[in-house]
Structure 1
Amino acid sequence: MKETVFMVEKLLLLQIHDFKSMETETQGEIYAQYYHLFYTQIFYMTREHFMTEDIIQESFLRVIKYFPKVCDSEKLKAWLKTVIKNTTLNYLKKEKRARECIENDILDHIAIIEGVEREFELKAMIEVVEKYLIELKPEYRQLIELRWKEEMSHKDIANMLGISEQKAKYTLCRARKSIKKRVVKEWPFFNSSK
């Protein structure tokens, strides 16, 4: 409880001073207190140390950027918990989307390859897939880049291109199949249809 009160008092300095203009030592103290205060709560949701650290950094940047101008310690604690919760949920959604992007059979089979052999195969496959992307129809390439490089949703892609969401999903599926077909031709052991 003492740590929470101390932490809130330290953070209240952000109402008076800009974080960037504070002494490095004060900045470090505020961040260290923030880190220790919320690490356990975030780790409980993520179960992963590095992800927890990323979320703490991302949420801390939001805190110093959007710190409320007038706020008592009780309201501040509630606001901080909301920032932590929202940052964590957004991060987890982003992670889930990233994992869903790797839904094709190619990467499922990569897990079988071990050690150095796996790294070489992965690098070679990435080069081949990138080569195939360049050779794709422009329509397919554009959809794949918007979906996986820009991380846009099917709905956003459809709106941007002026097509239906169903058409975006269908065309994206055809683009993935086209790439998979070429990869399987070069690496027949990646064919999961057996």
Structure 2
Amino acid sequence: MCKINDNLKEQQVMEWYELYYKDIYRFIFFMLGDRQYCEDLVHDTFLRAYTSFVNFEERANIKTWLFSIAKHLVVDEIRRRKRRRIFSLFSEGHDIASSINIEQYIEHRDTVERSLKAIQQLKPDYRLVITLKKIEGCSTKEIAEILGWSESKIRKTLSRGLAALRRKDIAEGGGHYEQTF
């Protein structure tokens, strides 16, 4: 019977993988900007979902739960990098997996690259909320569930994060992030 449960569990996690791989990958990529760790953290997200399968409670939807797992892995990686003083930069020549269509991406590549670099220079909380809201399109309620914060805190953090981006934009000559966000 345990073997059947393992097979069902594996099948369910593989379905989630098929459905949410791109979303989780994009989220982690925008948070870290580092392809080397991105694939590993996506894999770790689904591995943790598999090992924690019995702990999944139907209170949240599966996408929210997976983003929560990914968020914890990303925050741990940011802490490790901070301790080691490693700062990743976006390297030119790589495509960005995102929901932006290819024509927009090619047309606005410089803006996307500047936005990615700017987001990665924000405080981790701002980075989390902006990435989940503006890039992944999560609702305020979903973000609150993922981060374990109140919706009010999500709105305030988003507002402050976007203000920090605007201040950075003004300092760099202006006009870049208003188009993106």
Same fold (TM over 0.5): no
Q: Which has the larger radius of gyration?
A: 1
With the length of structure 1 as denominator, give the TM-score of the two structures: 0.34
Structure number with higher relative contact order (C-alpha < 8 Å, ≥ 6 residues apart): 2
Structure with greater helix percent? 1
